[in-house]
Amino acid sequence: MPAFFGQKSQYSGIGRHTTVVGVLFSFALIVAVVTVMVLTALSHVAENANVLDDERSRETTTGAIKTVQEQLGATLNDYSTWNDAVANVYSADGMAWTIDNYGEASADTPLFDMTIVIGDDKKPLIAYRNGQPMKEALSDFFSPSLWALFDSVKTAGLQSPEAVGFVGTKRGVAMVGLALVRGKFGTLDVPAGQRRYLILVRHLTDKKIAALGETYLIPGLKLVPSTYDAQYSVAINDAAGRALGKLVWVSRSPGDIGYAQVWPMVVKALGLVGLFFAVLLVIGWLAGRRLKAEEISAREDALRDRLSGLSNREGLGFAVDEIVAEATQTGKSVLLLYLDLDGFKEVNDSYGHGTGDQLIRAVAAGLRMLIPEGAVLARIGGDEFAIAFLSDGGNADALQLSEQILDFLAEPLEIGRRVVVVGASIGIAMSAAGAIGREELVRRADLAMYKAKEAGRARMTLYDPLMDADREERNALELDLRTAIDTGDLTLVYQPLIDASTHEMYGVEALVRWNRPGHGPVSPEIFIPIAETSGLIEALGLFVLRKACETAKQWPELRVAVNVSPGQFRNPAFADYVRYVLKQTGIEAERVTLEITEGYMIQNPQRTRQSIERLKTLGLKIALDDFGSGFSSIGYLRQFGFDRIKIDRSLVQGVTESDSQREMLQATVALARSLNIPVTAEGIETEEQALAVRLFGCDSLQGFFFSKPVPADRITEMLEEGRRPDRLGRATSAA
């Protein structure tokens, strides 16, 4: 059985494990995905920030170049619209002034590094670089785009004879300003063809570009060939639109910087969140697992019998279901044994519940040793056990096991300081290849056990389909009996009780008779036990008591004895019923004797004594019936205060068969008499028996030898026939 439960819980344990690992895994996945998403979003933001920054750098660069261009333009304007210059540049003796003010100016200003003055014929008057006259021809030093600038200024007339643009030179790329030399207010009275022009050249050297970058906060600004590969740049083109190069810078990538700072924090934060939830999850899982474990153990407890530690009825049900299912697959047989301890109630009642509990545990331990491996052992009631197992051997295995169990229980058991003997009745049912389901199997085993008990204790019985017929017959009989009680269809006969010394009938015993419609007379030995087990006995008993008392009223000189079943006696209200019947019928209580058997008294000595006391205060007499047929513990008899003891007819009838039986009867009567209680001998069929029991000390006789039980009318006749039944007359004469 533990294996059966163990397996179950183990399976569910694994199930829980896989789920929690799965959940943790999905959870980690979610955290990872969220992290990636957040980082992706951040990286987008960073990229955008980078782009924006580069756009801004481009705008700044463009602006810077434009500013430099405007600077040059302003300088150019200053130098070219100058009245002194007009006076000197256009005169033959102004060369010294021109060199002084224009040429040498190229030496010490950061605004330009070359000054050239040319005429309409493109020939230079002066050409200075860094304050020194330059050697190369203009066309060798400058790319032709210079002349494009020149042409645009030349054609502009006096309106705005100035232009600034980029020109390639031998030294690299230069910003070139070209303007007509003219008067302060743009006046010039020199005809076209004789005009002169000032050219200012500012080379975009690395140093200058770097200085520009520093001024405008554009890191790493530099001029590179136009073939240079850069994502962001500002193109430098000449007047003809030819690419001279481009300005590039080092991206500051503020987004990347921010991203680099932020991402570890984000990962940490999300990791913490993840950890937090993972811890929550694990805590939840642990709590869930504890609850689950508690639930499992509660369920196991619900299927276990506390006292014995074995499965209980429910547990057996589950286990048998499993075994039947397995048998269906394997083709084996399921064997189910139902076992009822004989005499357990007696032990419980006489030694107390503590001893009873110990007995149950001892029996459980013994059975555990006997059952085959894999068998299920259950306690399904106070003193009922069940064993279920699979077998290839069929009934033989069950019979062998039953025999071992009966042998084991036949041995006295030591319970504490006491030694008790219990037996068992065992019912066996089989389900070949699991063909019979649990419910039917249980019903059959139960029925077989019941039959075993009925047949006399300490035996085993295999289920037989005939038992069902029996059971049905019994049910039908019970139904008919109920009707008979309800309709008062029972009759009473009366058997005379004879005074042993006068041989006169001094009383009668009322005995119930039932003529079952369609079946004929049924022996009370059959229907009384059925009435007892079906609860009909109370109604039946009261019917008999009332009827007997009513009838006996016409025989004032006779006592009347009525049999009372343990089932009636058990009812605490029984004495009240009796008092009520006595009052109703008006019979003197002193004339009525109730006969009870000892079975119930041993089960419940306390209650029996109380009941007897109450009945005796009503004035009734109480007789102990069938003495010598059962346990007969003399100690008990003394405490109950019986008014009479009736020796069982099995003892009386053996008296002439052997000396030992004779001695037995003698001893039993002596035992009864030793309590100073008058003794009746019942079942006397011969004169010899009558003489013997009288000799042994019985003061009252009953039996076929005197009279069979007869209808009330016959008793009346007997009384009228001189108060002497026939047989009695003959017995008397013989004596």
Q: Among 445, 512, 601, 622, which residue sits at the site for ligand C2E (rule: CB under 6 A)?
A: 512
Residue 513 CB, nearest approach to ligand C2E (Å): 8
Q: Among 204, 540, 625, 680, which residue sits at the site for Ca ion (rule: CB under 5 A)?
A: 625
Number of residues that bind ligand C2E (CB under 6 A): 22
- List the single partner that 342 binds among Ca ion, ligand C2E, none, CB under 5 to 8 Å by kind: none
> Does residue number 464 form part of the binding site for ligand C2E (CB under 6 A)?
no
> Does residue number 709 form part of the binding site for ligand C2E (CB under 6 A)?
yes
> Does residue number 511 form part of the binding site for ligand C2E (CB under 6 A)?
yes
**Alpha-helix runs per DSSP H in 563-711:** 566-570, 574-585, 598-603, 605-617, 634-640, 649-653, 659-674, 687-696
Q: Are 448 and 462 in contact (CB under 8 A)?
A: yes
> How far, in Å, CA of 116 to CA of 126, rounded?
6
Residue 461 CB, nearest approach to ligand C2E (Å): 25
Place of tokens 């021109």: 98
The interface with ligand C2E within residues 642-681 (CB under 6 A) comprises 649
**Nearer Cβ to ligand C2E (162/626):** 626
**Would you give the binding string for ligand C2E spanning residues 679-698, x where CB under 6 A is met?**
----xxx-------------
Angle at 446 between CA 440 and CA 449, to 5 degrees: 140
Q: Are 646 and 626 in contact (CB under 8 A)?
A: yes
Residue 475 CB, nearest approach to ligand C2E (Å): 21
In a 3-state reduction of DSSP, which class is residue 70?
A: helix
**Nearer Cβ to Ca ion (86/490):** 490
Q: Are 253 and 269 in contact (CB under 8 A)?
A: no
Q: Are 217 and 235 in contact (CB under 8 A)?
A: no
- List the single partner that 336 binds among Ca ion, ligand C2E, none, CB under 5 to 8 Å by kind: none
- List the single partner that 704 binds among Ca ion, ligand C2E, none, CB under 5 to 8 Å by kind: ligand C2E
- Helix 2-80 to helix 313-330 angle (10° resolution) is 90
- List the single partner that 388 binds among ligand C2E, Ca ion, none, CB under 5 to 8 Å by kind: none
**Residue 559 CB neighbour total at 10 angstroms:** 18
**Nearer Cβ to ligand C2E (245/709):** 709
Q: Which of 597, 584, 571 is nearest to 543 (CA)?
A: 584
**Nearer Cβ to ligand C2E (244/528):** 528
Instruction: Say what the alpha-carbon torsion angle 270, 276, 278, 284 is, to the nearest 10 degrees.
Output: -150
Question: DSSP label at 372?
Answer: P
Residue 407 CB, nearest approach to Ca ion (Å): 34
Q: Which two tokens stand for residue 646?
A: 């009736």
Residue 456 CB, nearest approach to ligand C2E (Å): 18
Element spanning 716, H or E: helix 712-720
**Would you give the binding string for Ca ion spanning residues 459-498, x where CB under 5 A is met?**
----------------------------------------
> How far, in Å, CA of 388 to CA of 381, rounded?
16
Q: Among 541, 645, 690, 700, which residue sits at the site for ligand C2E (rule: CB under 6 A)?
A: 541
> Does residue number 611 form part of the binding site for ligand C2E (CB under 6 A)?
no
**Nearer Cβ to ligand C2E (393/521):** 521
Q: Which stretch binds Ca ion (CB under 5 A): 15-23, 378-386, 574-582, 622-630?
A: 622-630
User: Residue 411: exposed, middle, or buried by beta-carbon count in 10 A (0-12, 13-18, 19+)?
Assistant: exposed
Q: Any bridge partners for residue 166, and if so which? A: 175, 238
In a 3-state reduction of DSSP, which class is residue 243?
A: strand
Q: Which two tokens stand for residue 447?
A: 């029925």
Q: Among 119, 124, 437, 524, which residue sits at the site for ligand C2E (rule: CB under 6 A)?
A: 524
Q: Which stretch binds ligand C2E (CB under 6 A): 22-30, 50-58, 627-635, 701-709?
A: 701-709
> Does residue number 704 form part of the binding site for ligand C2E (CB under 6 A)?
yes
Q: Among 480, 538, 595, 598, which residue sits at the site for Ca ion (rule: CB under 5 A)?
A: 595
Phi, psi for residue 683 in degrees, rounded to 5:
75, 30
The interface with Ca ion within residues 548-567 (CB under 5 A) comprises 563
Q: Which of 294, 371, 311, 337 is nearest to 3 (CA)?
A: 311
> Does residue number 495 form part of the binding site for ligand C2E (CB under 6 A)?
yes
- List the single partner that 525 binds among Ca ion, ligand C2E, none, CB under 5 to 8 Å by kind: ligand C2E
> How far, in Å, CA of 684 to CA of 701, rounded?
7
Q: Which of 598, 590, 656 is nearest to 620 (CA)?
A: 590
Which residues touch 230 (CB under 8 Å, ≥6 apart)?
Answer: 224, 246, 248
Q: Are 528 and 474 in contact (CB under 8 A)?
A: no
**Nearer Cβ to Ca ion (563/611):** 563
> Does residue number 145 form part of the binding site for ligand C2E (CB under 6 A)?
no
> Does residue number 497 form part of the binding site for ligand C2E (CB under 6 A)?
no
- List the single partner that 552 binds among ligand C2E, Ca ion, none, CB under 5 to 8 Å by kind: none
- List the single partner that 175 binds among ligand C2E, Ca ion, none, CB under 5 to 8 Å by kind: none
Q: Among 146, 360, 544, 615, which residue sits at the site for ligand C2E (rule: CB under 6 A)?
A: 544
DSSP result, 391-426: ESSTHHHHHHHHHHHHHHHHSPEEETTEEE--EEEE
Q: Which of 257, 323, 258, 238 is nearest to 1 (CA)?
A: 323
Which residues touch 286 (CB under 8 Å, ≥6 apart)?
Answer: none
Q: Which residues of 10-22 are buried (b: 16+ CB within 10 A; e: fewer)?
A: eeeeeeeeeebee
Residue 249 is which amino acid? W
**Nearer Cβ to ligand C2E (558/701):** 701
**Nearer Cβ to ligand C2E (357/643):** 643
Q: Which two tokens stand for residue 629?
A: 């047929």
Residue 5 CB, nearest approach to Ca ion (Å): 52
Q: Among 189, 525, 659, 720, which residue sits at the site for ligand C2E (rule: CB under 6 A)?
A: 525
**Nearer Cβ to ligand C2E (503/649):** 649
- List the single partner that 335 binds among ligand C2E, Ca ion, none, CB under 5 to 8 Å by kind: none
The interface with ligand C2E within residues 564-603 (CB under 6 A) comprises 564-565, 595
**Nearer Cβ to ligand C2E (523/660):** 523
> Which chain residues interact with Ca ion by CB under 5 A?
563, 595, 625-626
Binding stretches for ligand C2E (CB under 6 A): 495, 511-512, 523-525, 528, 541, 544, 563-565, 595, 625-626, 649, 683-685, 703-704, 709
